[in-house]
A and B are shown apart, each in its own frame.
Chain A
């Protein structure tokens, strides 16, 4: 799949369309107008990373503190498409499963965009893209792992370990749209969880439940129904509850990623065009804001360069086999099983060895940060160092790979 790069204004106004096994950037005209307006009609032409970072900071600030949340958020969502796509692509390649493809991975990650925006600390030394890389990577791994679990565990354990929120997502993806049907299934799940002995290993299928269990469940369900008349829950006896729970299990088993049919644009619909009409001169980028950003950005770049040189020095000091391992894992992107085969060692040793080498790098980085940054509170800096290291390893990886391809 070809991946066209985006101009600056496109980075904040276009969304990935992965349908039909093709990759397209789809423009959202209102976002585009909003960007054009702010850029003063000049085409950005050549853009540096710091330009994107400035606009990230600009929209993040407005999303956090401004009266209008939807537009800034939509711009940031557009920006996050790229880290999301790269993570989805790399991970769906690395952990090929028959059932979860690139699109599922992309959706699972994009679903976490809100968490990414909430969790990102603009004062941190790491950029939003760096932070998003970790968060999206984790979200995809979680989704793949969960899909794996969904297919291993028994029906009863599946229902026991499922939250209402999770069931709702699964039902929606499976095509359930009616609110009252969703509420009915949720109530069935709750009644089930209320009557089942909190945790039990011995009973595995719905068929193992006793008549007393079902009676108790029906009672729980009617209680729930009576408590929320507005939800218009369906009448339910044992037969109905049995059927609903079976349907829940069915939907859960095929659940891979939340649907975000409208995730990209839905957030825009809450706030209308007014926002654009309100754009006046004071919404233009204040030059001072840009100046301040540039100054801070210079510090950040200097820091990044220092980090890079610390890491390069450490890698140079590693022995040949450790360097080889890093090269195979991060540069050639080999799986651990493949590395094990190549180096003729046990696969479990590969992951431990990579972890060991990574720890050496991390340790040097932490020691350097302690000495250079004179920090009073270590925790946020440690988080940054861990993110920097990942970024650096990935960059090494893609940088060397490009050279590799060029050669």
Chain B
């Protein structure tokens, strides 16, 4: 390896244990891109920790898992946000460092995810740009900025919600960072941040559903490389305020992760209606109690009392709020067949309470055979607030498919009776 003797931007070697740790921890994450993220961050922390300890003296131990105090420190990966964004937090000499690693060959821009900057419980005193070469086994600290410099000088890229700044606009002398940490700083390191409105559990639930649906549409998160997959970024599905509201709360973050896991498991699968009748159901299919906004309609009242109803939120581009696919099933005792009623509604809860919105004109609800033969089609007219398929009966074990079509957008749900 070339030894570049760059005094002001030190090059550190990546210790072997960091690689092993990185490999072990990353396998716990959901998607390949997050695993790589975890691996890269583990390498970075693994190389930085001994360096910081050397600089600070071992008596001032470095707390690495300082990001989310409320999370039990079962493992490093769980206390860092690697399934959501790139970057790690370190507590060094009473300050909070945000370390952003990259392994690009030609780094020119320092890109920091907005979460690290604009959520006050995430933000740090200093932001360090770190380049690493996992194969050659080195890491270089390329420069740093404090929070208020980043906020003032960087440009905000709406496309991927990052703050970007040219590499050479950073302070490229890491010795200064150490000197400043010894001296009392007279500078304002932290810029003022707008407060993120906190969300109630009731508000969070539909947001999480919305993310899960997008996740399902993004395709399978293959654990076996190298299947093609579309990169999916949960952080860009909602508005930043909404997303930040989830990210700020440990309980909400855990709910989101649970829901994403569940929906990945359910993804591509056929919904087993017989299990509903036995009382078990995937979390994406919610009961009337969980979807209080749903009004009971005439069609539903005609179903027998022992029927089970579940709703799933579905998002279509161009709609203000998600649609609810409402499926009700009853076992017909006489011939063992199952009676099914499928409705599509467009209702949402906002600050004012329940809002019933008309369905977009031309929206189609279609019943298909597994071979994609169309059995029934219902089209929404002007001002329809719900549409439903005519009640139908399905033989036990048979599969059917419900398709929702608006323009060229298609969402399909498969069921087994």
A-side residues, CB < 8 A to B, are 94-95, 97, 115-116, 118-119, 134-135, 138, 141, 144-146, 148-150, 152-154, 157-158, 161-163, 165-166, 195-203, 209-210, 212-213, 216, 335-337, 351-352, 354-355, 358-359, 362-363, 366-367, 370, 377-379, 382-383, 385-386, 390
Contact = CB atoms under 8 A, between A and B. Distances in A.
Interface stretch (B176-184, B280-288, B319-327): B176-184
Contacts of B178: 359
Interface string B133-150: 111100010000010010
Contact of A199 (B33, B54, B227): B33
Interface string B1-15: 111111111110000
Contacts of A198: 32-33, 36, 231
Contacts of A152: 133, 135-136
Contacts of B33: 197-199
Given A134-B172, A144-B4, 8 more contacts: A141-B9, A145-B2, A148-B136, A197-B32, A198-B36, A213-B228, A355-B175, A385-B176
A370 B1 CA distance: 40
Interface residues of B, number: 53
A184 B1 CA distance: 34
A244 B271 CA distance: 45
A78 B226 CA distance: 51
A20 B162 CA distance: 47
Nearest to A145: B4
B4 A141 contact: yes
Contacts of A203: 225-226
A337 B176 CA distance: 25
A152 B173 CA distance: 27
Contacts of A200: 32, 36, 225-226
7 contacts: A119-B166, A150-B105, A152-B133, A161-B103, A213-B228, A216-B228, A359-B175
Contacts of A118: 166
Contacts of A148: 1-2, 136
**B contact face: mostly helix, strand, loop, or mixed:** loop
Interface in B208-234: 222, 225-229, 231
B35 interface: yes
A95 B135 contact: no
Contacts of B160: none
Contacts of B222: 197
A162 B105 contact: yes
A197 B2 contact: no
Contacts of B9: 138, 141
Given A166-B106, A203-B225, A378-B187, A138 B179 contact: no
Contact of B146 (A135, A379, A385): A379
B5 A94 contact: yes
**A contact face: mostly helix, strand, loop, or mixed:** helix
Contacts of B39: 199, 201
A214 to B, nearest CB: 11
A151 to B, nearest CB: 9
A149 B226 contact: no
B157 interface: no
A198 B37 CA distance: 10
A48 B149 CA distance: 36
Nearest to B173: A386
A270 to B, nearest CB: 24
The 8 closest A-B pairs by CB, nearest first: A199-B36, A198-B33, A386-B173, A216-B228, A152-B136, A166-B106, A148-B2, A378-B187
A119 B227 CA distance: 43
B2 A115 contact: no
Interface string B33-55: 10111011000000000000010
A355 to B, nearest CB: 6
Given A138-B172, A355-B10, A379 B225 contact: no
B251 interface: no
Contact of A197 (B10, B149, B229): B229
Contacts of B7: 351, 354-355, 358
A366 B179 contact: yes
Contacts of B32: 197-200
B71 interface: no
A383 B176 CA distance: 9
B185 interface: yes
